[in-house]
């Protein structure tokens, strides 16, 4: 199998022009690396007899009152991400960026850092939900990002080890550092999450390729709607038919009902002439 003749012609046309192509990725691309979805079973956190949902823990309100509850969960999740390796879909996007250069923008909802580890550049990879490998001052005394220290294997439901506290402090004010991720009770911004840049990219793109996301968060939905209103093609790569697939089928693009690795290999080959 391959892309439909319509989509193949679209990709080949974009390969010949000098327009901007924007890629938007979600959890589906990292699922092939073994990273479970955020809201799946591995996202739950069990402490004693209490089971916490991800939506309870991924909040500023929870962290600000219970940092010693939230930090072990994030250290556990970070361990899962660090144990994973970029898959062929990540590598295909790195190859596409190398070929397109300034014509390429990647907007990712994933915090696992796998796109950067695969070879995509930080300048052209906009991590709109942050990156779990980094932390910043919880008091916002300094915007500098610092790498989360390696505190060893963290098991499901682990208690906070008091010895960690010194390594999770802001080096400037000595208050808590927090994971560099966007929480449910926080808003997108440009400084930390490149939100305005992502919107602007959607207003300039000649093609929006959406990979492995059902559009459960606001900014990706905005990008899809901007593309639809502008009448630019959308290609949605996802085994499941979702709202983005409907947007893609309503215009000059289309739905590719395949895993990320398969769909992006076809896109890469069409854009690079492989």
DSSP alpha helix (H) spans, the chain: 5-16, 27-31, 54-57, 60-65, 67-83, 88-100, 114-118, 190-193, 195-204, 218-230, 243-250, 260-272
**Contacts (Cβ under 8 Å, ≥6 apart) of 178:** 63, 67, 135, 136, 137, 138
Asked whether 178 and 135 are in contact (CB, 8 A), the reply is yes
Rounded Cα distance between 112 and 108, Å, is 10
Q: Which of 90, 99, 115, 129 is catalytic?
A: 129
Neighbouring-strand partners of residue 50 = 47
Residue appearing with tokens 């012609």: 9
Cα three-residue angle 114-192-223, rounded to 5 degrees: 75
Task: Report the residue count for the chain.
Answer: 274
**Contacts (Cβ under 8 Å, ≥6 apart) of 55:** 39, 184
Can 129 be counted among the known catalytic residues? yes
Residue numbers annotated as active site: 129
């Amino acid at each position: 199998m391959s892309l439909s003749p319509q989509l193949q012609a679209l990709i080949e046309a974009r390969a010949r022009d000098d327009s901007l192509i924007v890629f938007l990725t979600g959890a589906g691309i990292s699922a092939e690396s073994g990273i479970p979805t955020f809201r799946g079973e591995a996202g739950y956190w069990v402490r004693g007899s209490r089971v916490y949902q991800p939506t309870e823990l991924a909040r500023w309100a929870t962290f600000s009152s219970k940092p010693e509850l939230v930090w072990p969960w994030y250290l556990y999740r970070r361990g899962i991400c660090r144990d994973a390796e970029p898959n062929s879909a990540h590598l295909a996007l790195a190859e596409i960026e190398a070929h397109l250069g300034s014509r390429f923008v990647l907007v990712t909802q994933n915090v696992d850092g796998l796109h950067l580890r695969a070879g995509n550049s930080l300048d052209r990879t906009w991590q709109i939900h942050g990156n779990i490998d980094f932390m910043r001052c919880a008091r916002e005394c300094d915007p500098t990002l610092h790498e989360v220290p390696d505190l060893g294997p963290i098991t499901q439901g682990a208690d906070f080890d008091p010895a960690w506290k010194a390594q999770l402090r802001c080096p400037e004010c000595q208050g808590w550092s927090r994971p560099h991720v966007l929480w449910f009770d926080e808003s997108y911004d440009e400084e930390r999450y490149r939100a305005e840049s992502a919107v602007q990219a959607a207003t300039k793109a000649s093609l929006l390729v959406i990979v492995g996301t059902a559009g459960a968060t606001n900014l990706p939905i905005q990008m899809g709607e901007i593309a639809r209103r502008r009448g630019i093609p959308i290609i949605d790569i996802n085994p499941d038919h979702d709202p983005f697939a409907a947007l893609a089928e309503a215009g000059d693009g289309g739905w590719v009902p395949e895993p990320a690795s398969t769909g992006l290999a076809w896109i890469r080959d069409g854009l690079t002439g492989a």
